[in-house]
Structure 1
Amino acid sequence: MKAIPYGKQNITQEDIEVVVDVLKADFLTQGPRIAEFEENFATYIGSSYAVAVSNGTAALHLAAMALGIEPGDRIITTPITFAASANCVLYCGGEVYFADIDPETYTISLEAVEKLLKAHPKGYFKGIVPVDFTGYPVNLEELKKLANEYGMWILEDACHAPGGFFIDSKGQKQGCGNSNYADAAIFSFHPVKHIASGEGGMITTNSKEVYEKLLVLRTHGITRENLIKDFPNPELQGGWYYEMQELGYNYRITDFQAALGNSQLKRADEGLERRQEIAEKYYASFSENKGIKVQKRSKDAYNAHHLFVIEVSDRKGLYDHLRVKNIYAQIHYIPVHLMPFYKKFGWKEGDFPNAENYYKKCISLPMYPSLTNDEQDYVIETVKSFL
């Protein structure tokens, strides 16, 4: 059996052709494909605005800036995520606090968040960054109640979850990233994600103020719009004129990345449907195996399944066994608070037992739309034979 990775991009001939068309056109960056991608992505997600940037980490950083993190502000996130979900707070001079995960969904525990909030005076925390881990949606309606009570904003990390949703108290589907209950959300277009553009990211929001701020921040803080009216010498303001109004960054995406992303977006629902088929087969195959724990399923949550995670007691043994069999499973993630860098802030083993227990047992099995039925059967058989 050829090598089977945990995740993999699917590039079609149509994808290649749209990128070649851009390479032959006049714009490689800051061209028309970016605005087209932003408009189509906002429509797909259900948000009012979308801003494309160079990667998911840049999206987190700019969104955090646009939401107003200032030095010393305290922000809550989950320890089971990629480090960027926490790092974006430090980029802005803020302080990171963690809340433990729900041991069944693997997403941030709202009970743990509430406990943390109650242990401090109102106003102590400025915001929270929940993560739709594996594609499982955090119930942002419930989280929003806490955020409103304690005066916090919400920045949803939906990198794993385009197409995922939860059912709110009114029976309405709330798509991950639609910003109906969050102030902004972010996505990644890394090759193993649902939509691949090589690198790339997107910020979605329903706030015009946040949107306009993002547009300036992604391009060095420079703008030709809303110019300062008290410029001392109007004769120096011609068609060339622009202003740097804030300290921004060069977080622009290229036109050919946007074209690739837009082409991939057309197949997003098809890919999502295939991920559900793969997940259903995994669930059915492992449901009666007492040596395997699977992520919780709920009628009120639609998991977009960027990942399919199982827990086993001998995780290292299974990991090594799969690699011998040419199956390259992965571990998501080492708890952020146990990274050497974050330990410098005083975080230590034992702080978040649910997250730490999960990490000792978790392993991500292959999950991507082009995974064949035969390949998945081979993965399932190999896991079962080890156990």
Structure 2
Amino acid sequence: MKTIPYGRQSIEQEDIDAVIQTLTADYLTQGPKVKEFEDKFAEYIGSKFAVAVSNATAGLHIAVLALDLKQGERVITTPITFAASANCVRYAGGEVWFADIDSETYTLSLESTKKLVESKPKGFFKGIIPVDFGGLPVNLEKFRQLADKHGLWIIEDAAHAPGGYFTDSKGLKQNCGNNVYSDLTVFSFHPVKHIACGEGGMVTTNSEMLYRKLCSLRSHGIVKDNMNENHGGWYYEMQQLGYNYRLTDIQSALGITQLAKNERRVARRNEIASKYKDAFNGKVRYQSLPEGTLNAHHLFVIEVEDRKGLYDFLRTQNIYSQIHYIPVHTLPYYKAIGYQGADLKNAEKYYSKCISLPMYPSLTNKEQSFVIEKVLTYING
């Protein structure tokens, strides 16, 4: 069996053709493909505005800046995520506070977050960054109720979840990133994600004010809206300290063709997940699926007692599984700040057992059957 990674991009001829067409056009960056990608992405997600950025980390950074996070202000997030979900707070000089995960969904626990928020006076925290871990949407309606009660903003980290949704109390499907219950949402276009642009990200919002801030922050803090009869077409103003976080037309062209295929690819990811669940039901734990929720399945994670043993065994079979993630509060940088004493038992227990199996649309039935066979062989001794 050939090498089977945990995730990989799916590039087809139409993707290649779109990139080649852009390479021969007038603009390689800051051209029409960026706006086209933004408009199509916003329509797909169901948000009013979308801002393309160089990567999801950049998107998280300008998201906290757009919400005016200041030095020393505190934000809550999950320890089971890629470090960028927390690092963006540190970039702005803020403090990261971790709440525990739900042991069934692996996402930020509403109860743990509520307990943490209510343990401090109102105004102590500024915001919450829930993560749609593995592709499973967080029920943001419930987090919004908590946030509104305590004056908090919400940034949804949906890097794993374009195409996923949850059902709210009114029976309405709420797409990840439509910002009905969040202020801003951030997506990733890394190659192993649903929409591959090489690198890239998108920030969505329903607020025109936040949209304008994001556009300025991703391009050096520069705006060109203040021209008058004394200024020519060259005129611009740098109104704040921004960054060069722009996405190129080349990447946007690829993103447009990838986006058009996301719905069927999410369906394929769910077919793969269903086959894993059928094979592993009653044998190993895996992420639960709340009623009325569509998991976009960036990952399929199982929990096993001998995680290191299974990881090593699968590599001998050319199956390259992965671990998602080392709890952020245990990383050396955050331990040095003083998080090593945090009471995050569910996150640490999850990490001791978690392993991500291959999950991507081009994974064949034969390859998946081989993965299942080898996992069961190992756990059955």
TM score, norm. by length of structure 1: 0.97
1:11-30 aligned within 5 A: 11-30=11-30
Task: Tell me if structure 1 keeps the 8 A contact 2:197–2:254.
Answer: yes
Asked if 1:319 corresponds to 2:332, the answer is no
Shift of 1:313: 0.3
Task: Tell me if structure 2 keeps the 8 A contact 1:79–1:99.
Answer: yes
Task: Tell me if structure 1 keeps the 8 A contact 2:55–2:200.
Answer: yes
- Find the counterpart in structure 1 of residue 116 from structure 2: 116
- Residues 152 and 226 of structure 1: is their aligned pair in 2 closer, same or farther, counting only changes over 3 Å? farther
Q: Which amino acid aligns with 1:238?
A: G
Q: Deviations over 1:130-159 (max 9, x none)?
A: 000001111100000000011000000000
Shift of 1:300: 2.4
Residues of 2 paired with 1:139 and 1:288: CA distance? 26
Shift of 1:168: 0.2
Shift of 1:299: 1.7
Aligned with 1:126: secondary structure? Answer: strand
Residues of 1 paired with 2:233 and 2:293: CA distance? 51
- Find the counterpart in structure 2 of residue 239 from structure 1: 233
- Find the counterpart in structure 1 of residue 330 from structure 2: 338
- Find the counterpart in structure 1 of residue 260 from structure 2: 266
Aligned with 2:363: secondary structure? Answer: coil
Shift of 1:226: 3.8
Q: Which amino acid aligns with 2:108?
A: I
Residues of 1 paired with 2:224 and 2:210: CA distance? 18
Q: What RMSD in Å do the two structures reach over aligned CA positions?
A: 1.0
Residues of 2 paired with 1:124 and 1:109: CA distance? 19
- Residues 321 and 159 of structure 1: is their aligned pair in 2 closer, same or farther, counting only changes over 3 Å? same
Identity of aligned residues (%): 63
Residues of 1 paired with 2:147 and 2:68: CA distance? 15
The number of aligned residues is 379
Q: Deviations over 1:162-201 (max 9, x none)?
A: 0111110000000111100000000000000000000000
Deviates more, 1:293-302 or 1:108-117: 293-302
Structure 1 unaligned regions, length at least 5? none
Q: Which amino acid aligns with 1:211?
A: Y
Q: Which amino acid aligns with 2:173?
A: K
Residues of 1 paired with 2:263 and 2:234: CA distance? 43
- Find the counterpart in structure 2 of residue 280 from structure 1: 274
Asked if 1:133 corresponds to 2:133, the answer is yes
Task: Tell me if structure 2 keeps the 8 A contact 1:338–1:349.
Answer: no
Aligned with 2:145: secondary structure? Answer: helix
Residues of 1 paired with 2:166 and 2:102: CA distance? 16
- Find the counterpart in structure 2 of residue 381 from structure 1: 373
Shift of 1:223: 1.3
Task: Tell me if structure 2 keeps the 8 A contact 1:100–1:355.
Answer: yes
- Find the counterpart in structure 1 of residue 149 from structure 2: 149
Residues of 2 paired with 1:131 and 1:177: CA distance? 11
Residues of 2 paired with 1:251 and 1:202: CA distance? 11
The one of 306, 311, 315 equivalent to 2:298 is 306
Moved over 4 A (4+): none
Aligned with 2:337: secondary structure? Answer: coil
1:2-151 aligned within 5 A: 2-151=2-151
Q: Which amino acid aligns with 1:251?
A: Y
Residues of 1 paired with 2:233 and 2:57: CA distance? 34
Residues of 2 paired with 1:349 and 1:61: CA distance? 27
Task: Tell me if structure 2 keeps the 8 A contact 1:311–1:362.
Answer: yes
Shift of 1:6: 0.2
Residues of 1 paired with 2:141 and 2:233: CA distance? 47
Deviates more, 1:238-247 or 1:324-333: 238-247
Q: Which amino acid aligns with 2:174?
A: Q
- Find the counterpart in structure 2 of residue 162 from structure 1: 162
Residues of 2 paired with 1:349 and 1:68: CA distance? 29
Asked if 1:356 corresponds to 2:348, the answer is yes
Aligned with 2:51: secondary structure? Answer: strand
- Residues 208 and 198 of structure 1: is their aligned pair in 2 closer, same or farther, counting only changes over 3 Å? same
Q: Which amino acid aligns with 1:358?
A: Y
Aligned with 1:301: secondary structure? Answer: coil
Shift of 1:215: 0.7
Q: Deviations over 1:292-313 (max 9, x none)?
A: 1111122222111000000000
- Find the counterpart in structure 1 of residue 209 from structure 2: 209
Task: Tell me if structure 1 keeps the 8 A contact 2:62–2:214.
Answer: yes
Residues of 1 paired with 2:292 and 2:242: CA distance? 40
Q: Deviations over 1:53-93 (max 9, x none)?
A: 00010010011111111111100000000000000001111
The one of 353, 362, 373 equivalent to 1:370 is 362
